[in-house]
Amino acid sequence: MTIRILLADDQALLAGTFRLLIDSAEDMTVVGIAGDGREAIELARSTTPDVVVMDIRMPGVDGLAATKEICADPALRETRVLILTTFELDEYVAQALRAGASGFLGKDVRPEELLRSIRAVAAGDALLSPTATRSLIARYLARPETRFAAADSLEVLTAREREVVTRVAEGLSNEEIAERMYLSPLTIRTHVQRAMTKVGAQNRTQLVVIAFQSGLVRVDPPR
């Protein structure tokens, strides 16, 4: 199955470079390039890509606003957004999570890592760059605007679902969780999807934040 990708970046040369890289992969194809957030929204609706690789700072509608609109569109519920930016700031990561992004990477990422990340996001995995560490997540847990509705606890989950969510919050992929729990990746995916539905998470990334908010997974407060 070919992963269909929409690129959103106001730097034409950089977008062209990304297109060459992505199109060189046998399992990927670029279906469009947007130069700003508004064009990204329109192209997403007309092409329904699997993944939107979204820059943050663009003229007019920025990448975060575009991400929020794309993730809120019922017609694009299968589309995932991977934020790719030179501005790996804590506040941007927090806003990206709230907007519904499934991943966040810096533009200094290695080519093979970008391709791997696109595949992970397309498969439903959450992805944060090394800069977006657990301490970063912890820094925003106390903020009211970072909380998601109906996400104060994970008491509605079964014991197995809680174990899976814990491993998801540790940054493991479905395949890695399956290997550690001696289950199939399909079974893990089912547990993740059921957990997301029960706690009201729009995507895997929000499920991770909810796991921290609920106290299921704990981190030391940032210094």
Q: Give the Cα separation of 16 and 111 in Å (integer).
A: 14
Q: Give me 139's structure tokens.
A: 């820094």
Three-state SS at 209: helix
Fold annotation for 3-132: Rossmann fold (3.40.50)
* DSSP percent split of the chain into helix, strand, coil, nearest 5: 50, 15, 35
Entry pTM: 0.68
DSSP sequence for 90-152: HHHHHHHHHHT-SEEEETT--HHHHHHHHHHHHTT--EE-TTS-HHHHHHHHT-GGG--TT-S
Distance CA 9, CA 61 (A): 12
Looking at the domain that runs over 149-214, which CATH code has it been given? 1.10.10.10
Per-residue model confidence as pLDDT tens for the chain (223 residues): 899 999 999 999 989 999 999 999 999 999 999 999 999 999 999 999 999 999 988 989 999 999 999 999 999 999 999 988 776 555 677 777 778 888 888 787 889 888 988 998 898 776 665 445 454 555 555 555 555 544 456 788 999 999 999 888 877 778 889 999 999 989 998 999 999 899 888 777 778 778 877 778 765 544 4
Strands 80-85 and 51-54 come out as: parallel
44, two tokens: 């997403």
- Could you state, in order of their start, the residue ranges of all structural domains in the chain? 3-132, 149-214
